[in-house]
């Protein structure tokens, strides 16, 4: 797998975007950022977790919308993603116990700044651009599902889309 692949470049840029926000890096320890871009770790999700493993964040690709020949000279690929925030705690009353809102605020701020990290890219010596990156919605639930490692707590899932534009001739040559 090539890290030059546009899908990987955009996925990794989403992480760079989040980690560029100091509020995010303060609220979410590096060990609690679940990344799926390892070349060695086939199962990056934690099988069990203690209170020190929260808040936990991961970015998942949840689909896409390909649009070949969208215009007379360009094609697009919209990547749909989810940023999942796991609190590991039911309490919202005090910041000392639950940083879920802190992480959500940091995610929102980072996404507002997307043009600084997700815009111009190069693939196979060809330029391509991200035209927009936006969250569509966020949904919070109190859960004890596997996503929470059987530890009840708040889960916030931010879903969104990143649209990538290519010159069609670059795709066909």
Percent over 70 (pLDDT), the chain = 89
> Per this entry, what is the length of the chain?
173
d(CA 92, CA 156): 13
The answer to whether position 43 is within a domain reads no
d(CA 27, CA 88): 13
Domain that holds residue 103: 6-37+51-172
Distance set, CA 106 to CA 8, 57, 97, 124 (Å) = 23, 12, 17, 33
Cis peptide before 62 (omega within 30 of 0): no
Tokens matching residue 94: 């005090």
Lowest mean pLDDT among 58-72, 110-124, 147-161: 147-161
d(CA 73, CA 90): 51
The answer to whether position 56 is within a domain reads yes
The answer to whether position 124 is within a domain reads yes
- Tell me the CATH number at 71: 3.30.2000.30
The answer to whether position 58 is within a domain reads yes
* Cross-strand partners of 61: 81
CA torsion angle for 95, 156, 37, 5 (degrees, to 10)? -130
Instruction: Say what the pLDDT of residue 77 is.
Output: 96
Q: b/e per residue, 50-88, with b = 16+ CB within 10 A?
A: eeebbbbbbbeeeebeeeeeeeeebbbbebebbbbbbbb
Residue 53 predicted with pLDDT over 90: no
The pLDDT of 132-148, averaged and rounded, is: 79
Q: Could you tell me the pTM of the whole model? A: 0.87
Structurally, the chain folds into a number of domains equal to 1
Instruction: Say what the pLDDT of residue 145 is.
Output: 58
The answer to whether position 143 is within a domain reads yes
Tokens matching residue 126: 């060809």
Tokens matching residue 132: 């927009």
The pLDDT of 50-55, averaged and rounded, is: 82
The answer to whether position 106 is within a domain reads yes
Instruction: Say what the pLDDT of residue 150 is.
Output: 62
> What confidence tens digit (pLDDT) does each residue in 2-51 have?
667 899 899 999 999 999 999 999 999 999 999 988 777 777 777 777 77
The answer to whether position 46 is within a domain reads no
DSSP annotation of 171 reads H
């Amino acid at each position: 797998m090539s890290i030059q692949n546009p899908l990987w470049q955009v996925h990794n840029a989403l992480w760079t975007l989040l980690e560029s926000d100091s509020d995010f890096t303060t609220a979410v320890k590096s060990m609690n950022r679940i990344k799926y871009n390892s070349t060695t770790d086939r199962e990056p999700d934690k099988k069990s977790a203690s209170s020190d493993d929260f808040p936990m964040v991961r970015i998942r690709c949840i689909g896409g919308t390909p649009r070949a020949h969208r215009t007379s000279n360009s094609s697009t690929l919209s990547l749909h993603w989810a940023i999942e925030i796991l609190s590991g705690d039911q309490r919202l009353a005090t910041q000392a116990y639950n940083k879920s809102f802190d992480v959500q605020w940091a995610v929102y701020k980072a996404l507002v700044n997307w043009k600084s990290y997700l815009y111009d890219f190069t693939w196979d010596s060809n330029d391509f651009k991200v035209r927009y990156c936006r969250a569509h919605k966020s949904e919070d639930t109190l859960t004890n599902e596997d996503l929470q490692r059987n530890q009840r707590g708040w889960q916030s899932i931010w879903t969104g889309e990143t649209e990538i534009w290519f010159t069609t001739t670059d795709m066909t040559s």
